[in-house]
Amino acid sequence: MKQAQQMSLQIAIDGPAGAGKSTVAKLVAKQLNLFYVDTGAMYRAIAYKALKNGILLEDELSVSQIAKTTEIILDHSEERVVWCDGENVTLAIRKPEISRAVSIVAAYVGVRERLVELQRREATRGGVVMDGRDIGTHVLPEANLKIFLTATPTERARRRWMELVKAGKNIPLEEVAHDMKQRDRQDIERKVSPLEPAQDAVILDTTGYSVEGMVAKIVALTQEDEK
């Protein structure tokens, strides 16, 4: 890939929770020497800040107000540190209570407007692989390649449960599956930028596929796009 093309390349990877977006996006970015932008971490940071400040998640006005003044910076190094108003929140935003809260704040217009602004700012730093739920449809509608990753609900719940177990969190698989089902419903039914594939997205089912195989497939698609 020519350097000029690489510096402007934008890859949007969307899909529901547990589809493998973040894992695949990080590896695609690394292989193509692009920046990885985890937009989900940005929404988690807003949920974390709201809870930390004692704001009721159902109070849309208050949550939107704090979002407007929140600065979120993603470290594009190997550490991938997430900074929220100068605080390292990388680990804190992965707690189960944040996972349950994030869909609520992500549905608010004020929150989405602010974070889309920050996400597009990240995309100006060079070629990017950006994952989320509305990247191809709203954040980067002109992306060079749009991918929609999915998997069976059972497989997605199992993957998320394994992540939590590895992180030392003892949470029943049934609880993880229930939370994920609720998250899916909220993402699909929200009025602002609902979860759905872009019309020109390539839909890939990751069930039964290795991470390496999926990464290779997406990298191959970027090469086809150049022809």
User: Residues at the annotated binding site for ATP?
Assistant: 15-23
Per-residue H/E/C for the chain: CCHHHHHHCEEEEECCCCCCHHHHHHHHHHHHCCEEEEHHHHHHHHHHHHHHCCCCCCCHHHHHHHHHCCCEEECCCCCCCEEECCEECCCHHHCHHHHHHHHHHHCCHHHHHHHHHHHHHHHCCCCEEEEECCHHHHHCCCCCEEEEEECCHHHHHHHHHHHHHHCCCCCCHHHHHHHHHHHHHHHHHCCCCCCCCCCCCEEEECCCCCHHHHHHHHHHHHHHHHC
Please state the residue numbers annotated as binding site: 15-23
Q: Report DSSP state, residue 136.
A: I
- Is residue 215 within 8 A of residue 52, CB to CB? The reply is no
